[in-house]
């Protein structure tokens, strides 16, 4: 038996080789007496061996080695970005996002670097993101520019915009329907999914902007899609879902008969935060990162003068790395448990008013934080601040007295200093605390203060 640690393993320079014959093997994950977790792989040799169950070789690998190998093979620390001049260059996630930002600035638009990185990590965590904010802050434009920056355009049909209509009360506009002759008429989303699923396109990212998605009730027209993406699982390295249509709905000869949602589809919904639109249910909010775009800096006029060409990026740059918490634990057990501890503390606060969440929200926060750690795009505290803003606060609304208590407890969690009580002039106390320089989760604390102001007026909501 051999134990391999980070101190006694190094990367070789071999780039090609032949595949060995297949053997039977068994793996076990266990803890030592010191609490260290190890992966042990025992090989039993080929099926032709005389003693079938006799172990021929065993190796033990610790977390550090697993993390190093896993990041190099599967988690896209490096991707190949192909420029339009057909030259291949190695890029880290940070270098690619910098190219995207430079491209966007060259088109006369400015977005905060951290916000762009957050948008990318959110897409990589789950291919369904909501951009919320007041009208005119560039939500729809961001989707188009971001897609164009990596070679996805309306001309090559990798970028598509679908304008939601107020009269949508089912999924027929997106999925399709059968006409009076029992012929299937595909919806807009079905046609895009069909194109993206073809063998020549499956490695290209496809972006769909659902513009003003809350002009109609999202649960009415997108419910089926949201349910199907929850069925995602890895099979032979590919992400697959349940069928888009039931087996008895379409004839076998239909091109849409066995259609599934491919791993290269990314839906981004834009939302105007005003009184003319519908609110979101927990089913929608729990399944998305809700990114708020409300900060407007009219002094930002330093645009990129040099013309910047797009880069074509393979879908692996956006492909989700984790679909269940066990995969995350294998990648970085200690870090996952640290984030889980923070999530439990927040959920305990929410539970006092029955606003607590389930496994899905916990898992997606962990996935986001782990993706960010691998990509090294955001400081850990900044990343977790985004997650409080995007996965926790959008679900809080109401006028009950317990809502005030929840918001104040969350505010105290964010500032990590001398606590604010809910008595007396608590609003003034909160405003004073926000002036400090060492606030751990400042964006969330500022949003909570705005929500507390709404509570004082009689009703609070993330969307007000």
108-135 pLDDT tens trace: 888 889 999 999 999 999 999 999 988 7
Structure tokens at 177: 């329907």
- pLDDT number for residue 60: 77
Check residue 73 and give its pLDDT.
52
Please check whether residue 244 is in contact with residue 193, taking contact to mean a CB–CB distance below 8 angstroms.
yes
Query: How far apart (Å, rounded) are the C-alpha atoms in residues 444 and 384?
Result: 10
At 78 the pLDDT is 36
Long-range contacts of 381-386 (CB under 8 A, 24+ apart): 381/440, 381/441, 382/114, 383/118, 383/121, 384/339, 384/342, 384/441, 385/414, 385/440, 385/441, 385/442, 385/443, 385/444, 386/118, 386/291, 386/443
Q: Taking each helix axis as running N to C, give the angle between helix 113-125 and helix 139-149, from 0 to 180 degrees, rounded to the nearest 10.
A: 80
Tokens linked to 281 = 């249910």
The two three-digit tokens of residue 431, written as one number:
């405003």
Q: What are phi and psi of 256, to 5 degrees?
A: -105, 5
Exposed/middle/buried for residue 225 (C-beta within 10 Å: 0-12, 13-18, 19+) = buried
CB atoms within 10 A of CB 137: 20
**Cβ atoms of residues 174 and 194 within 8 Å:** no
C-alpha to C-alpha distance for 133 and 431, rounded to whole angstroms: 23
| Domain locations along the chain | 2-73, 78-313, 323-461
pLDDT lower than 50: segments of the chain = 74-90, 298
Q: What is the CATH number of domain 2-73?
A: 3.10.450
Give the CA angle between residues 132, 135, 139 to the nearest 5°. 50
Helices 359-375 and 113-125: crossing angle in degrees, nearest 10, is: 120
- What CA–CA distance (Å, rounded) separates 244 from 193? 10
- The CA radius of gyration of the chain, in Å to the nearest whole number, is 24
Distance CA 356, CA 327 (A): 24
Pick the CATH number of 78-313 from 3.40.50.2000, 3.40.50.300, 3.30.1600.10, 4.10.320.10: 3.40.50.300
Name the DSSP letter for residue 394.
G
3-state helix, strand, coil in the chain (%, to 5): 40, 20, 40
């Amino acid at each position: 038996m051999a134990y391999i640690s980070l101190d006694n393993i190094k990367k070789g320079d071999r780039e090609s080789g032949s595949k060995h014959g297949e053997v039977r093997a068994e793996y076990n994950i266990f803890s030592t007496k010191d609490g260290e977790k190890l992966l042990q792989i025992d090989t039993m040799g080929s099926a032709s061996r005389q003693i079938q169950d006799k172990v021929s070789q065993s190796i033990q690998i610790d977390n550090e080695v697993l993390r190093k190998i896993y990041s190099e093979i599967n988690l896209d620390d490096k991707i190949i970005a192909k420029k339009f001049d057909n030259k291949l260059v190695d890029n880290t996630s940070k270098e690619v996002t910098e190219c995207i930002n430079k491209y966007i600035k060259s088109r006369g638009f400015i977005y905060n670097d951290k916000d762009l990185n957050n948008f990318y990590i959110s897409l990589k965590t789950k291919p369904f993101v909501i951009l919320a904010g007041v009208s005119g802050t560039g939500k729809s434009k961001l989707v188009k520019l971001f897609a164009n920056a990596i070679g996805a355009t309306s001309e090559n049909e990798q970028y598509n915009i679908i304008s939601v209509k107020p009269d949508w009360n089912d999924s027929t506009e997106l999925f399709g329907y059968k006409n009076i002759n029992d012929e299937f008429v595909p919806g807009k989303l079905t046609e895009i999914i069909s194109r993206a699923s073809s063998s020549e396109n499956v490695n290209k990212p496809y972006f769909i902007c659902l513009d003003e998605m809350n002009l109609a009730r999202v649960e009415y027209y997108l419910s089926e899609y949201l349910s199907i993406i929850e069925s995602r699982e890895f099979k032979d390295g590919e992400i697959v879902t349940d069928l888009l249509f039931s087996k008895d709905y379409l004839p076998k000869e239909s091109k849409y008969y066995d259609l599934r949602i491919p791993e290269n589809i990314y839906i981004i919904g834009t939302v105007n935060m005003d009184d003319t639109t519908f609110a979101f249910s927990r089913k929608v909010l729990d399944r998305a990162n809700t990114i708020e775009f409300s900060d407007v800096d009219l002094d930002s006029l330093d645009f990129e003068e040099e013309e910047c060409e797009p880069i074509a990026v393979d879908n692996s740059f956006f492909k989700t790395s984790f679909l269940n918490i066990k995969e995350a634990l294998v990648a970085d057990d200690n870090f996952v448990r640290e984030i889980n501890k923070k999530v439990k503390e927040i959920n305990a606060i929410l539970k006092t008013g029955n606003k607590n969440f389930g496994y899905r929200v916990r898992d997606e926060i962990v996935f986001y934080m782990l993706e960010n750690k691998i990509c090294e795009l955001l400081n850990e505290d900044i990343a977790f601040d985004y997650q409080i803003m995007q996965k926790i606060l959008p679900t809080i609304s109401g006028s009950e007295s317990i809502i005030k208590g929840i918001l104040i407890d969350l505010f105290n969690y964010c500032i990590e200093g001398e606590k604010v009580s809910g008595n007396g002039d608590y609003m003034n106390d909160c405003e004073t605390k926000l002036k400090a320089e060492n606030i751990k989760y400042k964006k969330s604390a500022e949003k909570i203060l705005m929500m507390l102001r709404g509570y004082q007026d009689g009703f609070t909501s993330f969307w007000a």
